[in-house]
Amino acid sequence: MTPNQKINSIVIVGGGTAGWLTAGIIAAEHNTNGTEINDLVDVQITLVESPDVPTIGVGEGTWPSMKSTLQKMGISETDLIQECDASFKQGTLFNGWKTGGNDAYTHPFTPPHSYASTNLAPQWQKFRNEVSFADAVSSQNALMFQGLAPKQISTPEYAFNANYGYHLDAGKFAELLRKHCVEKLGITHLKANVIAINSSTDGDIESLKTDTVGHIAGDLFVDCSGSKALLLGEHFDIPFCSKSQFLFNDTALASQVPYTNSDDPIASSTLSTAQTSGWIWDIGHVYSSAHTTEERASEELLAYIKTTVSAEAALSTSIRKVAFNPGHRAKFWHKNCVAVGMSAGFIEPLEASALVLVELSAAMIAEQLPANRQVMDLVAKRFNNKFLYRWDRIIDFLKLHYILSQRQDSDYWKDNSAASSVPESLSELVDLWRWQSPWHRDTGHIDEMFPSASFQYVLYGMGFVTQQSPLGSRTDRDAAKVAIKLFEENANITQRWLDILPSNRELIDKINTFGLQKI
């Protein structure tokens, strides 16, 4: 490409959730229907996917960001619930992570009450033996433990009382996105195998050779081909950085367990139950193959299904093994190719950070779509810096869950607490938080994926103690004056939501029958 050549044509390889979300997010930002609309950049998007290579296709949990992503693309929330077996997720409920016994705590999506201005954590420490941190500062904790919905049937699409994301069927979600992208957003969909990559003299990708639809030329190529990373990995040979020295899980046993009765409760959080060498969530067991065997991991999963669902469900469960190498590429945007989704990397399902990274990556590509080939290298550099930072923060936050555990009942938990397995950036923060509670100052960017509020929920949910200075800072003393009032306000809001919100099951059933009001 010549330096001044405009970027008009985007080719996406892969039709999993990453491919279709990326297509939809870029299309929602630009004009892709071939008509002139004001000064919107006119781009053409083509998505090619293999008819033979299946998508990863496990059930997925999303972050609240998915609401605005789908809304911007013009997808109806009622369609999402009805067509993707979707339900509302308000955060994660962790069982047995602290001691391996009956301990439980939540990481809700809503930050603590008045979090923008007041840090309630130091004030809560005085009452830590009477009330859990999440209960004291968040109304969502009670909703999650009671399986309540985050809104009512009269609440319009995407609006809420308590913030939420979704649990959904990944295959059905990709299909909903495909239909919308093709029918409403003007995206060209081709089914073919990419079998070779044609380069131009400057090393950029010029076109893709396919087995059935000829060559597909483009200006920018997005690699959404899954963990094989066909363009960025296989073609450009960008190294893969394994992070297994920090996070040991590398295998998942994914199961499909149907609800036994049509009126069984639907959890409003992801339930994550710690095991001897990993953890079990609603649809599977993720574990470290260096610490246990597949047989042992399946036994634990089936025992879990037997106790939480039924013996019949355990007998009829089919299990699919998915192996992965935790880590990410050394960079994500190289020449005129950018990787999004599993092709960029994957750590593990804890805290469900994969799809939100897809949303963030696609949003940055869409918002900063290079005007021409010359500026693309600058955008690529910024993209790489931003996402390398984000992967490091994800690793820190996920590892925090493991190092706070008191469990020492297996090598897995012992190895997880070894200092050599903890990133330095995380051990520094944890040392700091022994003396001061996490707060806005501790996270470097305004668009941080895990704000200090998330660290507070996990630290104090796991029983971490921050020693308070007897003198306190001026900010802490100011907060102390308003804390009791804020705790009371939170308790009142919680009671109000408990009085009016239906169960998650009741709301989902109603939406399936009547739909939600459009805004």
Ligand X SMILES: Cc1cc2nc3c(=O)[nH]c(=O)nc-3n(C[C@H](O)[C@H](O)[C@H](O)COP(=O)(O)OP(=O)(O)OC[C@H]3O[C@@H](n4cnc5c(N)ncnc54)[C@H](O)[C@@H]3O)c2cc1C
State which residue, 355 or 366, has the beta carbon closest to ligand X: 355
Of residues 56 and 238, the one with the C-beta less far from ligand X:
56
Spatial distance between the Cα atoms of 394 and 351, rounded to a whole number of angstroms? 9
Site for ligand X contains 18 (CB under 6 A): yes
Residue 213 touches ligand X, criterion: CB under 6 A: no
Stretch that binds ligand X, among 8-16, 35-43, 75-83, 382-390 (CB under 6 A): 8-16
In the complex, the smallest distance separating the C-beta of residue 30 from ligand X, rounded to whole angstroms, is 21
Sole window of 13-21, 144-152, 213-221, 501-509 interacting with ligand X (rule: CB under 6 A): 13-21
Residues 234-293 that bind ligand X (CB under 6 A): 252, 254, 284
Q: Counting contacts by CB under 6 A, is residue 121 touching ligand X? A: no
Q: Does 224 bind ligand X (CB under 6 A)?
A: yes
Among positions 7, 28, 29, 60, the unique one binding ligand X when judged by CB under 6 A: 60
Closest to ligand X by CB, 148 vs 347, is 347
In terms of Cα–Cα distance, which of 267, 325, 266, 277 is closest to 299? 277
The DSSP letter of residue 503 is B
Interface residue with ligand X, options 41, 53, 213, 313 (CB under 6 A): 53
Which structure tokens are listed for 125? 């420490």
Does residue 342 belong to the site contacting ligand X (CB under 6 A)? yes
355 — phi, psi (to 5°)? -70, -30
350-388 b/e with 16+ CB inside 10 Å = b?
A: bbbbbbbbbbbbbbbbbeebbeebeebeebbeebbeebb
Q: Using the rule CB under 6 A, is 49 a contact of ligand X?
A: yes
Number of residues in contact with ligand X, rule: CB under 6 A? 36
Which one-letter amino acid corresponds to residue 245?
Q
Which residue in the set 10, 12, 16, 460 belongs to the binding site for ligand X (CB under 6 A)? 16
Query: Which residues on neighbouring strands pair with residue 60, listed in sequence order?
Result: 168
Q: Which two tokens stand for residue 130?
A: 């009477």
- CB closer to ligand X out of 341 and 370: 341
Tell me the C-alpha distance between 194 and 126, whole Å. 61
All residues at 6 or more sequence positions from 343 whose CB lies less than 8 Å from its CB, including other chains: 14, 18, 223, 224, 225, 226, 227, 228, 229, 230, 231, 232, 233, 329
Q: Using CB under 6 A, list all residues that contact ligand X.
A: 13-19, 48-50, 53, 55-56, 58, 60-62, 170, 193-194, 224-226, 230, 252, 254, 284, 322, 324, 341-343, 349, 352, 354-355
